[in-house]
Chains A and B, each alone.
Chain A
Amino acid sequence: MSPHTLDHAAASEVFNRDEPRVDWHDETLWWVRQKRDRAAMQLPEWEALREAASQIKHHVLSNLDTLLENFERKAQENGITVHWAANAQEHNEIVWSLLHKKGIDRMIKSKSMLTEECHLNDFLRSKGIEVIDTDLGERIVQLRQEPPSHIVLPAIHLKKSDVGDTFHEHLGTEKGATDPQYLTEAARQHLRETFLTRRAALTGVNFAIAETGGFVVCTNEGNADMGAHLAEIHIASMGFEKIIPRADHLGVFLRLLTRSATGQPVTAYSSHFHRPRPGQEMHIVIVDNGRTTQLGRPDFRNSLKCIRCGACMNTCPVYRRSGGHSYHNAVAGPIGSILAPNLDMRKNADLPFASTLCGSCSNVCPVKIDIHDQLYKWRQVLAQEGYVGGIKKTSLQLASKVLASPTLFKLSFNAARTALRIAPWAANNPLNAWSIHRELPDAPKDSFRQWWEKNRK
């Protein structure tokens, strides 16, 4: 973490100061989770679909090199230029050089969490290139100079009055306006003008098909298509794990993706790009940026199966009550917390602890990633590598000594019970973070061991 970034617990505390807002955030995401449940329950084969998706992704991870080479060859035959980027910097430079070559200094971009991960917008801005995000939620947070707080619902942390204020300031809507229909219309007008005047469009990639050398982009708004079909150069950025073997595997993934994400049966647009239109340039940038390292960690490689639906966030009791920004990572929530330590253990050591390990994330994951097990395993790795500091480390070391010795255990718990009876404030005080939202019950006079010794006859 940079000195200016709060860790997850500290940022959550800030988020929790406005209690009605936290309740609203919690309930809104739970509502999305319930919509997911209703959509899933309509398909009797839901669990079999998850299993099929999981197995396809396992195969993909075990055969990535061949699939990527096949994809590259087919894509090139299709007239798409394929680039490879080892890291975020190289990705950003490739995008910049493509724009620079054509003398373009303004680009539009539909949703791509990869470009958030690579901090592409900041990089391009430093090169004098303007980037406008066209997904409504992303445009809202961009105008506010905030990162998205959710991978599918980027502005889920904001109320409509916040959006109204932002649009009043930047788009000239009426002061105090909060009607979503009116605000969306204002964004439509503003962005339509942008679509019509930008020569370059960047999109993400939901799925890339090795068999046919094409890729699929899913949106509800139609913004990826509006951008790509009007621009003279279309750049698609993909993490290499987005590859799937065959087109008919899309049946599995498109059935799962949006039902898991928002409870819709499918996105309004599932667009399959295979060749540039006449006169257009089409580029794909295949990005590693730490993915090969994650692939080499047997306990964590399954995180690369993720299709970015966001279901694990919507269901997570910690995410819902702490907000996406508290995760200080492009991808928040449970999945973000197992991806982020791979990118930077020191900076993200707090994230695997931002979980109750309840397992709900793993239960809703459409590709069956063992998310909560990985959160637990990251804790061990981070502790071994020396990234778990302070009170947590000291208290756990002490606990492990006490719990390993029956004599120490007996002595210390007798002492603790006595202390709690005489001076309960010693535990229930603001210095003990555990007791901030909890109260210890009254300590019994006897321990179970003492009770047993008296009563076992």
Chain B
Amino acid sequence: MSSSREIILQAIRANKPDLLPLPSVYTFESNYPDVLAQYQQTLQMIGGTVEVVPDLAKVAERLQEIYPDLTHIAITIPELAHLADANLAVSDPHELEAIQLAVIPGRYGVAENGAIWVTEQEMQHRALPFITQHLVLVIRAETIVPNMHEAYRRIQVDETGFGTFIAGPSKTADIEQSLVVGAHGARSLVVFIIA
């Protein structure tokens, strides 16, 4: 008896239409006059907060101001590690349950939709940006690209086992289309852009 795999592939071969070519035009340019300004505007629109800072020292200062009494802080940026009190050297991601704030570097920002590409290399634990109550992402201004086509030109999606575009805090509108921020993932997102 043939396997389902063989049956399915045979049926596809029998039933598929003649080969059609892929389109030659499928990427487009977005010409924003100011990519950084566009990114900031988009992120605010989708519920994130954004601050442009000169360096990581300023990020450290602002973290202490924004989250003065917070504990259970996990940070994957070595220069800011002194502000962390949570241990990420755990093998079971369930142990991250109590994390209140995670501070993670992002690779690229996307001006058209506010998304930031983060891989498991930056997260250390895949669960971290989701299980934390609050999330801070730090990117460099020169890594902000206009749109998703440009982002995919720079990203190699299988470079690590997991990568994600994070665009704003977790949200839902499943109750009467009322937007509520803080569904299952982070309740808030602050993005620091080093420029």
> Which of A86, A163, A220 counts the most chain B CB atoms within 10 A?
A220
> Is B120 interfacial (CB-CB < 8 Å)?
yes
In Å, the complex CA distance between A133 and B22 comes to: 37
A254-B148, A288-B8 are known contacts. Are A214 and B157 too (CB-CB below 8 A)? yes
Residues of A within 8 A of B30 (CB): 43
A31-B177, A266-B113 are known contacts. Are A298 and B17 too (CB-CB below 8 A)? yes
- Across the A-B interface, give the 6 residue pairs with the lowest CB-CB distance, nearest first: A222-B185, A275-B161, A296-B15, A221-B183, A137-B174, A265-B113
Q: Which residue of B20, B115, B120 is within 8 Å of A62 (Cβ)?
A: B20
State which residues 2-25 of B face A: CB under 8 Å. Answer: 3-5, 7-9, 11-23, 25
State which residues 155-182 of B face A: CB under 8 Å. Answer: 155-158, 160-178, 180, 182
In Å, the complex CA distance between A301 and B18 comes to: 13
Q: Which residue of B114, B148, B160, B184 is within 8 Å of A188 (Cβ)?
A: B184
Contact B162 A222 (CB under 8 A): no
Residues of B within 8 A of A140 (CB): 174-175
> Is A423 interfacial (CB-CB < 8 Å)?
no
> Is B126 interfacial (CB-CB < 8 Å)?
yes
In Å, the complex CA distance between A55 and B11 comes to: 22
> Which of A69, A229, A298 counts the most chain B CB atoms within 10 A?
A229
> Which of B153, B155, B166 counts the most chain A CB atoms within 10 A?
B166
Contact A262 B3 (CB under 8 A): no
Distance in angstroms from A332 CB to nearest chain B CB is 16
Contact A251 B147 (CB under 8 A): yes
Residues of A within 8 A of B147 (CB): 251, 255
Contact B21 A269 (CB under 8 A): no
In Å, the complex CA distance between A270 and B8 comes to: 29
Q: List 13 A-B contacts (CB under 8 A).
A: A55-B26, A65-B13, A68-B9, A69-B9, A84-B8, A137-B172, A160-B176, A222-B186, A225-B185, A266-B167, A269-B185, A274-B162, A296-B11
> Is B131 interfacial (CB-CB < 8 Å)?
yes
Residues of B within 8 A of A160 (CB): 175-176, 178
Contact A196 B112 (CB under 8 A): no
Which one of A7-15, A45-53, A350-358 is at the B interface?
A45-53
Q: Which residue of A213, A267, A293 is within 8 Å of B167 (Cβ)?
A: A267
Give the interface size class of chain A: 35 or more
In Å, the complex CA distance between A151 and B9 comes to: 28
Summarize A's interface: helix, strand, loop or mixed.
helix
Residues of A within 8 A of B18 (CB): 62
How many residues of chain B are within 8 Å of chain A by beta carbon? Answer: 77
Contact A65 B130 (CB under 8 A): no
Q: Which residue of A84, A154, A254 is within 8 Å of B4 (Cβ)?
A: A84
> Is B85 interfacial (CB-CB < 8 Å)?
no
Residues of A within 8 A of B27 (CB): 248, 251-252
Residues of A within 8 A of B20 (CB): 55, 58-59, 61-63
Distance in angstroms from B17 CB to nearest chain A CB is 5
Contact B177 A32 (CB under 8 A): yes
Contact A221 B171 (CB under 8 A): yes
> Is A183 interfacial (CB-CB < 8 Å)?
yes
In Å, the complex CA distance between A154 and B157 comes to: 30
Distance in angstroms from A317 CB to nearest chain B CB is 19
Residues of A within 8 A of B4 (CB): 84-86, 90, 288
> Is A260 interfacial (CB-CB < 8 Å)?
no
In Å, the complex CA distance between A78 and B159 comes to: 11
Contact B184 A226 (CB under 8 A): yes
In Å, the complex CA distance between A204 and B113 comes to: 23
Q: Which residue of B23, B112, B182, B183 is within 8 Å of A265 (Cβ)?
A: B112
Name the CB-closest residue of B to A161. Answer: B176
In Å, the complex CA distance between A268 and B165 comes to: 8
Contact A136 B172 (CB under 8 A): yes
In Å, the complex CA distance between A181 and B164 comes to: 26
State which residues 66-109 of A face B: CB under 8 Å. Answer: 68-69, 78, 84-86, 90
State which residues 199-245 of A face B: CB under 8 Å. Answer: 209, 212-214, 220-223, 225-226, 228-230, 240, 245
Contact B130 A225 (CB under 8 A): yes
A163-B175, A180-B175 are known contacts. Are A277 and B158 too (CB-CB below 8 A)? no
> Which of B15, B110, B152 counts the most chain A CB atoms within 10 A?
B15
Residues of A within 8 A of B174 (CB): 135-137, 140, 153-155, 184
In Å, the complex CA distance between A267 and B51 comes to: 22
Q: Which residue of B17, B23, B155 is within 8 Å of A56 (Cβ)?
A: B23
Contact A220 B151 (CB under 8 A): no
Name the CB-closest residue of B to A52. Answer: B26
Name the CB-closest residue of A to B183. Answer: A221
Distance in angstroms from B169 CB to nearest chain A CB is 7
> Is B42 interfacial (CB-CB < 8 Å)?
yes
Interface string of B25-64 (1 = CB under 8 A from A): 1111010000000000010011000000000000000000
Contact A265 B114 (CB under 8 A): yes
Name the CB-closest residue of B to A79. Answer: B161
Contact A288 B152 (CB under 8 A): no
> Is B81 interfacial (CB-CB < 8 Å)?
no
Residues of A within 8 A of B28 (CB): 45, 48-49
> Is B195 interfacial (CB-CB < 8 Å)?
no
State which residues 131-154 of A face B: CB under 8 Å. Answer: 134-137, 140, 153-154
Contact A274 B158 (CB under 8 A): yes
Residues of A within 8 A of B186 (CB): 222
> Is A272 interfacial (CB-CB < 8 Å)?
yes
In Å, the complex CA distance between A226 and B127 comes to: 6
> Is A191 interfacial (CB-CB < 8 Å)?
yes
In Å, the complex CA distance between A368 and B12 comes to: 22
In Å, the complex CA distance between A191 and B185 comes to: 11
Contact A251 B148 (CB under 8 A): yes
A55-B22, A84-B8, A254-B148 are known contacts. Are A264 and B46 too (CB-CB below 8 A)? yes
